[in-house]
Amino acid sequence: MRKRWIILSVSLSIAAGSLAAYGVSRIAAKRNAAPAAAVVTYTGETAAAHFASAPAGTTQNILPDFTAAAEHGVEAVVNIENRQKYTVRRFSNPFGSGGFDPFEFFFGPQQEQQQQQSQPQQQERRSGGSGVIISADGYIVSNNHVVEDADELIVTLHDGTTHKATLVGTDPSTDIALLKIDAKDLKTIAFGNSEELRLGEWVLAIGNPYGLTSTVTAGIVSAKGRSLGVLPSQMGIESFIQTDAAVNPGNSGGALITTEGNLIGINTVIKSPTGAYAGYSFAVPSSIVRKVVTDLREYGVVQRAMLGITFQAITPDWVERFGKEHDIDEPGGMYIAEVVADGAAEAAGIEAGDVLTHINGKVMNSTADVQETIAKLRPNDKIKVTVKRGGSVKEYDVTLRNRAGKTELVKKDDVNLIDELGATFREVSDKLKKELRIRGGIQVVDLKSGGLLAKSRVQRGYIITAINDTPIASVSDLNRITDKVQSIDGIYPDGRIVSYQALSR
């Protein structure tokens, strides 16, 4: 049954005081399967020794050969066309091509003419991006923002043939999408291990910038584990590979490959003041992509593990600002600000105020380190977490949980409430709670078109206090609701109490 939303009740019973109140562009790319490429190797000597002994003017002998990786890669990178239908109403111009009608000009069109003039017409909007074939039977990985809101997806292969694609699933938290076309014996790109990437290593970006199909650019790995805060999902997971390979609009969803031809990233965003390439591009690492794609194929939904903490990286700036308050005098590790009730960390004995230093023996010094490590795992997976508490070091065995606080795998029809609502939230300040006489809630900061709140005409600033009669005090409370939304209760900063309810039709 389709549902429509109405405002169930509006009350002005509470007089509330007034609420005082990176240029990053997404990109798209194309890619293909890439077997082993011809790569320069150094036998019997180190690279440094080779450079030192090479005669002047012979640099071409010590650079990698990109040709094999590039030629195989373009065969597995595809163009994806996103077609969206929308309805417009058109009104005829009395001075149009039909000639001037003085009667119509002075007295307006008659009823029959009005009906013709205001008749809705359906039009089509098209946008493009890239994708990478990862299986010979037609599975293609791309970006969520490339396929988002599509009524029809058309995939064009390297040889020019086209196919209608089926959307298998998406994951806004990582901006990854999985598609399927009905084809066989396709060229593919094999997954590589992004964790083995080294700074300065050569990589190739393949895609369709500005509609220029099968474009290959080269660069080096400039950084790993970059977090930009650009993914629209409230639960965004960012641990980007940064490169200086040229990437532009149209490259989104395309391949980032090694000189051996292995897929080690999906090109996703660029950092630019203009929206065009300005020296930096960012890709979702293959370690995350592979796990997301596997989940979408096997379960139809991403099995996201939750550690159940909120944390902040202990940087030199953090130490300067908050170190004295928390008795921390050196950078390193992650300060655990909150432990979620009934979460995995709490169950293991981890406490707020602990400093997380390692997960499974790997050093954790940034948000991206933690996110990438946990993003590769599933609910019920077990990890070892090392923390510092006071002057001692403690190690805990933690069993990860799902977003509802359970160890079971989630089902495809379980609701991911944050994605369904289509908004970003912040928790309500104590001052505002006092002014509005509420115990808690989360405030809508931004709305995504197509989300449940936007469709219901909820405005920014609205404070959700309950969903399906379940109190909402923090963003993490949204993860505990897995049923379809039937009702939303809340209040605006001006004191208007507004409830929304789903009605079947």
In the block, tokens 């379940």 appear at 470
pLDDT band (50, 70, 90) for residue 79: very high
Buried b (16+ CB within 10 A) or exposed e, 17-51: eebeeeebbbbbbbbbbbbebeeeeeeeeeeeeee
Measured between alpha carbons, how far is 166 from 323 in angstroms, rounded to an integer? Answer: 52
Query: Quick one: which of 281, 226, 221 has its CA closest to 254?
Result: 281
Q: Which residue has the higher pLDDT, 433 or 133?
A: 133
Tell me, yes or no, if 175 is annotated catalytic: yes
pLDDT band (50, 70, 90) for residue 457: confident
Q: 3-14+414-504 and 309-399: same fold?
A: yes
Contacts of 359 (CB under 8 A, 6+ apart): 370, 373, 374, 383, 384, 385, 386
Q: Which of 252, 281, 286, 456 is catalytic?
A: 252
Q: What is the DSSP string of 472-496?
A: --SGGGGGG--SPP-EEEEE-TTS-
CATH no. for 3-14+414-504: 2.30.42.10
Q: Is 308 annotated as a binding residue?
A: no
- What integer pLDDT is reported at residue 475 of this predicted model? 80
Q: Which of 127, 130, 142, 175 is catalytic?
A: 175
Tell me, yes or no, if 145 is annotated catalytic: yes
The string of pLDDT tens digits covering residues 157-169 is: 999 999 999 999 9
DSSP percent split of the chain into helix, strand, coil, nearest 5: 20, 35, 45
Q: Is 214 annotated as a binding residue?
A: no
By the 8 A CB rule, do 500 and 8 touch? yes
Query: Quick one: which of 317, 279, 105, 81 has its CA closest to 181?
Result: 81
Tell me, yes or no, if 135 is annotated catalytic: no
Measured between alpha carbons, how far is 283 from 372 in angstroms, rounded to an integer? Answer: 13
Q: Which helix (H) or strand (E) holds 369?
A: helix 367-375
- What integer pLDDT is reported at residue 45 of this predicted model? 40
Average pLDDT value for residue range 13-20: 33
Name which CATH class applies to 309-399.
mainly beta
Q: Is 92 annotated as a binding residue?
A: no
CATH for the 31-39+65-85+125-301 domain, from 2.40.10.120, 3.30.70.100, 3.40.50.300, 3.30.870.10: 2.40.10.120
For the entire predicted model, the pTM comes to 0.73
Measured between alpha carbons, how far is 183 from 20 in angstroms, rounded to an integer? Answer: 57
Measured between alpha carbons, how far is 205 from 175 in angstroms, rounded to an integer? Answer: 18
List the domain boundaries for the chain: 3-14+414-504, 31-39+65-85+125-301, 309-399
Q: Is 287 annotated as a binding residue?
A: no
